[in-house]
Amino acid sequence: MKFRYYSLLAALGLIPLNAAAAFCPVCTVAVAGGLGLSRWLGIDDTVSGVWLGALMVALTVWTKDWLVKKNVKIKGLLIITGAAYYLMVVGPMYYYDVIGHPFNVMWGMDKLLLGVIAGSIFFILFHQLYQYLKKRNNGHAHFPFEKVALPLSPLIAWSIIFYWLTK
């Protein structure tokens, strides 16, 4: 019911809507949902880490964009914001032994940390791939929801790969 009410107000122009910036809200919600679902189902930490890494990337870029709109002018703002998010998430996990357990290792690295690194890197790379493809197509996506499909596809692929490797 609330959704319909807010949609009506937005359609009438009574609620200002911002254009989607770096990562769309659908991507971020999908990433957060994937993380929560994988933990709830008891899926391995590598898979959870993939979604956690992507979520931190999306939140980093959103926060940086918000700070820029608030006229925060700090050199290296994206790096500082990203470092803050990763420290706020990974730091407590390390402190409480969620990361660093000697029996939770894959390829010589903690499983959750491995997933976070893979998810972060591939989410960024495929978002940049989308930007490149869109630019080459005169600023238009090749298909509906391409902006969502490209960054999420490597996350799904890595989730499947890690699931089968740790099964």
Judged against a pLDDT cut of 70, whether residue 15 lies above it is answered with no
Does the residue 146 lie in any domain?
yes
| Count of domains forming the chain | 1
Given this model, what pLDDT does residue 21 score?
A: 45
In terms of pLDDT, which residue wins out, 6 or 41?
41
Range of the domain at 109: 21-166
Does the residue 3 lie in any domain?
no
Does the residue 38 lie in any domain?
yes
Does the residue 8 lie in any domain?
no
Does the residue 14 lie in any domain?
no
Q: Tens digits of per-residue pLDDT, 65-112?
A: 999 999 999 999 999 999 999 998 888 888 877 788 888 899 999 998
Judged against a pLDDT cut of 70, whether residue 17 lies above it is answered with no
**Token pair of 152 as six digits:** 């999420």
Does the residue 4 lie in any domain?
no
HEC per residue, the chain: CHHHHHHHHHHCCCCCCCCCCCCCHHHHHHHHHHHHHHHHCCCCHHHHHHHHHHHHHHHHHHHHHHHHHCCCCCCCHHHHHHHHHHHHHHHHHHHCCCCCCCCCEECCEEHHHHHHHHHHHHHHHHHHHHHHHHHHCCCCCCCCCHHHHHHHHHHHHHHHHHHHHHC
Average pLDDT rounded to a whole number, residues 155-161: 93
Dist CA 125 CA 16 (whole Å): 31
